[in-house]
Structure 1
Amino acid sequence: MKRNAFLAPWLLCPLAAAAQSNMNMQGMSGLFNVPDASVLEYGTAVLAHDRQVDGRFARPRTRNAAGNDMTISAGAFPHVEVVGRNVTTTTTTEGSDLSFNIKLQLPWELIEGVDFAIGEMDLGGSVNEYDTQFGVVTAQLGDFRTTIGFGKADGKAATGTGRLDGVFYGVEYLATDWLSLIVEDDVHTLNTGLRLMTPPGLLPEGWKLAGSYMLSQEEGVKDRQDWYGLALTVPLSADYDREIPKSRDRQPPAVAYTGKVVEERLDSNDAVDLTAPPQSEYIRAEYRAKMRSAENLDKVESLRRRFRHADFEQVRVQRNGNEWVIAFENYRYNANAIDALGIAAGIAAEALPEGSRFYLQMEKYGVPIFGMGGDSSAWGRFLNDDAGMPESVLIAAPSNRIRRRSNQGMLDAVLGGTLDYLAFRPTLAIKPVVSSTLGTEFGVLDYSVAARADLMIPLWKGAALNMTRDWSVYETEDFTEEGVFGGVFRNQAVPSGFRDRIISQTIRHGKGFTTMISAGRFFRVNDGVMVESRWEPGDGRHRFRAIATDFDFKHNPGLKREARLWSYRYFAESTNSELNLTAGSFSAGDNGYRFDFTQHIGDTRIHLTYKDSEGNKFAGIGFTIPLTPRQDMARIGGLQVVGAARWRYDISTILGEQGNRLVFGPNVVPTAGFNLRNGYFNVDRLSPAYVRANQERLRDAWLKYGAPQQRASE
């Protein structure tokens, strides 16, 4: 292999990286083909495309060819970069190769101005075209960056080109903030060229578009020597989300007022109970008169009015001494219910006098799902200034703190609550549904797309009717009868018609226990019952869940589909990460287990998955994004129409020496459109640990939505 020794003197100089990480043509951050020791910034993603391909997509294999090399990359964790890559020829209707790359950067700077990283391309798959392991060092000074590394290429593409199989190196010079010049030796060939970037201020903050032009010393097929690529970098969330919680700059907590609490109660119906009255009859009478005063009654109505103005529903207010208990339901902040908590806390802090305390009881269809309380003044300083979050009461799946009125019987309370929920106030969610294959022998991307409408109608406390219908929109040929082998993916297409018709009843047991029992038609073809129970003790770091189904297949009533699953989730508050282990018998009757690692970056989540099903092993990467704004539209005539609060897309590959078989639906957890995790507990994000980890979100929601609305109404 020809070497290019004239680069060696450059490597003796202390050079520097002045530019942000950019994707190269091998699906890693770096130069053109050479990876460097940088990684994508945490909380950002890159969509990239270039025309250089090699391996089985080039003829002969010893040279490059023009094709389509597409990558989706993410800074999934600080100092960690993950990439999904798909390579094909000049057409996207033939076969392609799907692979995954990963790079890990040493988080400590052992030598000033020098970074170290290791990585692997084409990680784990059964047909490894580009499998390469490497270690790399990047030194930086001023406007220069120099990189040297060593790779071991075992993939089939390396048998022809030998790219990155040995010592590789390169230099990048940032001539301006929008132009860099690059020269590299990737072991296969010497490459030179330039990279153009959008100047600061041209795109929204955090966005960047980069174009690369590379001239290779080694000719490609048909005498082609030049290659180009494009990469778009996008932030996945707000600035404060693109830093893990333990690294965020947080001020000391706000100081709480501690005064004497007199145990009394005043609710919005002007009923007073002295549960711990003073000894003196005169003092008792004085306190009773004070609690009955117009000022306190006005405060109750003022709180109710403020919460209703903020579009909270089912608002009830009671006073216990100097603590105000406020129960409410959130229907407008569906992308993340923590926004509703921030707004509700801001209203209470602004409306209550110095020294008061509040307790917020967030509910869903009458079931308490989260409790949060503290000193109103301390919370006011936290939400409006830079003070840290005060020590507060935070409870997952709490007991009901709203008491019955002293003159109201239990039957009256139950009937009154039922009538409230019989009011017709449905929510209609519209979202896309995609069934797809990526990187198969039949094409780069095949898909079936449908529109889904989810109608939720509350019935009584804890009960709801969920009806889901799909409308097929478009299918590629392989999802139809006209495709290869009569439609190789036809059975995976999304058909038009009703999917779910389910009635559910949710039962709150207390102490973090909740159960949902659902019955009806599930997943188009199953009739029966599903039971889901969860326990979230303490601060919510741990969550245990069990799911059981008893389904009859509608086309063959004797065919049973009985899933039996248990699940454990751990949430790491310091990093906003969660690990979920699920095991048992899954939807299709396959036995096994799955690990899901999820990194929360604002309302975006990145998923890394490992599955073991009946001896088959799979690895995958996916993402979840909201397809609805942080604040959904209000009801019109009682009906609310929203987008998808969370939309997930995954790609996976089979592992091991098992060929490149197509396997659909391994380790699928039976999940109705409305369930405890999604419908009630904000996708496991209503826990004290999550709220503390994302406390900046409380302030941001109040300042962006709550404060302007409240002050405009005054």
Structure 2
Amino acid sequence: MTSKHSTLVSGAVACLKLAVAGSALSFPAMAQNVDHDLAFPGYSGFLNVPSATALAHGQADIQFSDQSFYKGGYDHIKNVSGTFGVFPYVEVGGRLAWAETHSSCFQGCGIRDLSANVKVQAPLIPHEWFDLAVGIQDLGGEVNYFDAKYIVAGRQFGPVEFALGYGDPDVPNRYLDGAFGAVSFRPFPWLNFIAEHDSQDLRVGAGVTSPRGWLPGGTQVKAKVVAYNRGEYDDDRRFAAIGISIPFGNAGARPRLAQEAARTGQERAVEQQEPADALTARESVPASHRRSSDVENPQASSDVARNLGEALVDAGYERVRVASVGDTLHVRWENNLYNRDERDSLYDVASRAQKAAGIHGTARLTLLNQGLPVVNRTVSLGPDAKPYALAAEFAPGGVLPGADLTVSDWDFEGSFGPAWKPRLTFRPNISSTVGTEYGVWDASVALGTELSASLWPGALVSASYNTEFYSSEDFEKGGVFFDGRQRTGVIEAEIQQSLRMMPWMYTSVHAGRYAFDYRGALNETLILSPSGHHSLGFIGGYFQHREFDDISRRQALARYSYFNPGLDLQLDVYGGQFFAEDTGVRVDSRFWFGDYAVTLQYKNTDAEFVSLGWVIPLTPVKDHQFRYLQLRGDADWSYSVQTRINDDLNYTAFGGAGIVQSANPLREVYLNRGRFSNQ
């Protein structure tokens, strides 16, 4: 560390001691946990200096600023940063910096760069001791304007927070090149004063945040300003940033069907404190709804089953069957209402069974998809505030889709419309480039429409059509990205037959037209662990070009999938030969927040790519349907931004590790996108 660095850092520490002493007297009740903000470079932090904490799990911040370090100095360059707390103690983000929006960089455009950031906070250190984090800015690649690796420690005392760290950038003599430090003073939750030394320059500024509760959905507006600069590369210039912070997704917004082992002690205590209420509820059941063993009416239990079945059909469920066997209600139904997450349907049916149960003690629920039984839940129908599952498993049975050895005579059978009801799904399809030499953002946008219908159990016919309605100049004919545009025409038309060979094994065979120009056949096979947390899969196919006999494609991929329900984390690892016959690996991850997700992807075939994106459902929590038709949006629409890494130049590319599969693959149609858990 140079003498200049030592003097400035020591001065910051001295100021910190005075601020801490003052805050201990003036603000003894100030909470230690404060909102995390983005620094100008896009990671959570102060002005340019990173903090020792990561964004909170589920927090999403988007920021626009006008400061970038370029060609040895700071300049007013536009930046958009987006950072997500994807995991406890882990944040990932992306940054787009540009000087000119439309000009070609081959003729001169200044800086135009797309980069990725990662920060990890040490999870095992008590907050009362200190916080510690490591991070990488501008991950991967050779054309890196902002590359830096850093480690930072920090501590918070009431309204005062400080950080000290060390950085190593790819470009020397800029921020984070050596020791750095920062201190902030937050006299009010909405106001923050900041002073820092970023290893090269001394900087003072302030930040403001809209108070919690002023805006809907937990949204907060945030702004920062650099009011004073002094140093080698930044001398008395002003910069500003403005952004929003939102709790991403809707996790916790709706109840789930908890399992007995997962219920909290508080829930069990409430149940144990209500014996009188339970007795009252039992005695208040009309005699006509009690079991024949308790009353003289032998039809009482059958009436309960019929009433429940009619209620389910009226609600819009299909292929409904209900039977009363002893003190157990057996319920089978197909869900086409809760298309975002079928666990909502499990809870809805369990709640309806609980209300209609009479004196039935349990219900055995079986969820169907395309006529095939998928999962079973044995549910307590006691007087608890919420229904809960006593047992969870994949539905028993094998190749025979209608086999049910438990019930031979159903008290009710009905459906909201025919099994072959057509379903029309709409979605926007987007091809785009971000931060390339040709422009900041170029895009081709189309409306995708899929029509599907069920033929018999496990059989499905579908067709998808694409209609391009917008394209920027570079995606038009003659443009550099024309081949990657959204084409107008039939994307896919196929017929498929899926078989549930065993409760934990599915296979499907598909034939038809794929990827606009190819006809061929597909096979997908899936093997599940008993818990549903692990699966092994195979996706293979042969495709022949419709016009050129000498063009054909073979695809053969193995897939391992993992789902952690506690963290709502999904991981898919693909390996083998992809559709373009490039070979290698692809890793897809989803960090779920209710019905929304942040996605991270890594590809390594002919080149290496990373992408950051999100999943947003474009349909209501509960879809509406007519008796002979259903119109709905895409419940799993995704968009991502991709950049090349570990290459001499970040050439734009749309391909790499592409997978051609059915528009209705096994996990999406039958297994709630891989999010069913039996534990």
The normalised TM-score by structure 2 is 0.86
1:37-64 deviation line (CA, Å, top 9, x unaligned): 1211101211111010122xxxxx2221
- State the alpha-carbon separation in 2 of the partners of residues 222 and 611 from structure 1: 39
Partner SS for 1:649: strand
Q: Structure 1: which amino acid aligns with 2:165?
A: G
Answer yes or no: is 1:619 the counterpart of 2:610: yes
Hey, what does 1:54 align to over in structure 2? 69
1:347-384 deviation line (CA, Å, top 9, x unaligned): 1122113452211111122111222113321xx52626
- State the alpha-carbon separation in 1 of the partners of residues 141 and 395 from structure 2: 41
**What is the CA distance between 1:672 and its match in structure 2?**
2.2
Hey, what does 1:708 align to over in structure 2? none
Structure 2 unpaired stretches of 5+: 24-31, 106-111, 273-290
Match for residue 537 of structure 1 among 519, 529, 533: 529
1:562-601 deviation line (CA, Å, top 9, x unaligned): 1111111122344222322211111111111122232222
Change (3 A) 1:473 1:291: farther
- State the alpha-carbon separation in 1 of the partners of residues 231 and 482 from structure 2: 42
Answer yes or no: is 1:591 the counterpart of 2:601: no
Matches within 5 A, 1:455-470: 455-470=451-466
Q: Structure 1: which amino acid aligns with 2:593?
A: I
- State the alpha-carbon separation in 2 of the partners of residues 512 and 570 from structure 1: 15
Match for residue 37 of structure 2 among 9, 13, 22: 22
**What is the CA distance between 1:164 and its match in structure 2?**
1.1
**What is the CA distance between 1:441 and its match in structure 2?**
1.7
Cα pair 1:93 1:444 within 8 Å, conserved: no
Cα pair 1:396 1:688 within 8 Å, conserved: no
Cα pair 1:587 1:668 within 8 Å, conserved: yes
Cα pair 2:79 2:96 within 8 Å, conserved: yes
**What is the CA distance between 1:440 and its match in structure 2?**
1.7
Partner SS for 1:578: strand
Matches within 5 A, 1:310-349: 310-349=315-354
**What is the CA distance between 1:528 and its match in structure 2?**
1.6
- State the alpha-carbon separation in 2 of the partners of residues 651 and 369 from structure 1: 35
- Paired residues in the alignment total 629
- State the alpha-carbon separation in 2 of the partners of residues 579 and 20 from structure 1: 30
Match for residue 679 of structure 1 among 644, 650, 669: 669
Partner SS for 1:558: coil
Hey, what does 1:698 align to over in structure 2? none
Q: Structure 1: which amino acid aligns with 2:174?
A: G
Cα pair 1:422 1:460 within 8 Å, conserved: no
**Higher RCO by CA contacts (8 Å cutoff, separation 6 or greater):** 1
**What is the CA distance between 1:296 and its match in structure 2?**
2.3
- State the alpha-carbon separation in 1 of the partners of residues 417 and 524 from structure 2: 23
Hey, what does 2:216 align to over in structure 1? 204
Mean alpha-carbon deviation: is it higher for 221-230 or for 432-441?
Answer: 221-230
Cα pair 1:421 1:458 within 8 Å, conserved: no
Hey, what does 1:282 align to over in structure 2? none
Answer yes or no: is 1:192 the counterpart of 2:197: no
Cα pair 2:72 2:233 within 8 Å, conserved: no
Q: Structure 2: which amino acid aligns with 1:611?
A: K
The normalised TM-score by structure 1 is 0.82
Q: Structure 1: which amino acid aligns with 2:650?
A: N
- State the alpha-carbon separation in 1 of the partners of residues 409 and 72 from structure 2: 88
- State the alpha-carbon separation in 1 of the partners of residues 451 and 630 from structure 2: 10
Matches within 5 A, 1:640-659: 640-659=630-649
Hey, what does 1:127 align to over in structure 2? 143
- State the alpha-carbon separation in 2 of the partners of residues 573 and 393 from structure 1: 14
**What is the CA distance between 1:420 and its match in structure 2?**
10
Hey, what does 1:270 align to over in structure 2? none
Cα pair 2:313 2:416 within 8 Å, conserved: no
1:485-514 deviation line (CA, Å, top 9, x unaligned): x31111000011221111112212123111
Answer yes or no: is 1:35 the counterpart of 2:50: yes
Root-mean-square deviation over aligned CA pairs: 3.2
- State the alpha-carbon separation in 1 of the partners of residues 537 and 19 from structure 2: 55
Cα pair 2:575 2:586 within 8 Å, conserved: yes
Partner SS for 2:544: strand
**What is the CA distance between 1:28 and its match in structure 2?**
0.7
Hey, what does 2:283 align to over in structure 1? none
Hey, what does 1:664 align to over in structure 2? 654
Q: Structure 1: which amino acid aligns with 2:352?
A: I
Cα pair 1:453 1:469 within 8 Å, conserved: yes
Change (3 A) 1:617 1:685: same
Answer yes or no: is 1:359 the counterpart of 2:359: no
**What is the CA distance between 1:69 and its match in structure 2?**
1.1
**What is the CA distance between 1:224 and its match in structure 2?**
7.7
Match for residue 217 of structure 1 among 211, 225, 229: 229
Hey, what does 1:394 align to over in structure 2? 393
Cα pair 2:446 2:470 within 8 Å, conserved: yes
Change (3 A) 1:676 1:290: farther
Matches within 5 A, 1:236-275: 236-238=248-250, 240=252, 250-251=264-265
**What is the CA distance between 1:213 and its match in structure 2?**
1.1
Structure 1 unpaired stretches of 5+: 56-60, 257-285, 409-415, 690-714
- State the alpha-carbon separation in 2 of the partners of residues 407 and 175 from structure 1: 71
Answer yes or no: is 1:434 the counterpart of 2:425: no
1:186-243 deviation line (CA, Å, top 9, x unaligned): 123222121121122211242111011113425999998111111211112336489x
Hey, what does 1:511 align to over in structure 2? 503
Q: Structure 2: which amino acid aligns with 1:132?
A: A
Match for residue 186 of structure 2 among 166, 169, 174: 174
- State the alpha-carbon separation in 2 of the partners of residues 390 and 458 from structure 1: 30
**What is the CA distance between 1:171 and its match in structure 2?**
1.6
**What is the CA distance between 1:662 and its match in structure 2?**
2.5
Answer yes or no: is 1:232 the counterpart of 2:244: yes
Change (3 A) 1:366 1:421: farther
- State the alpha-carbon separation in 2 of the partners of residues 319 and 627 from structure 1: 38
Cα pair 1:83 1:100 within 8 Å, conserved: yes
- State the alpha-carbon separation in 2 of the partners of residues 610 and 586 from structure 1: 14
Change (3 A) 1:227 1:323: same
- State the alpha-carbon separation in 2 of the partners of residues 404 and 7 from structure 1: 74
**What is the CA distance between 1:670 and its match in structure 2?**
1.5
- State the alpha-carbon separation in 2 of the partners of residues 669 and 396 from structure 1: 30
Among the aligned pairs, what percent are the same residue? 28
Cα pair 1:361 1:401 within 8 Å, conserved: no
- State the alpha-carbon separation in 2 of the partners of residues 600 and 405 from structure 1: 37
**What is the CA distance between 1:644 and its match in structure 2?**
1.1
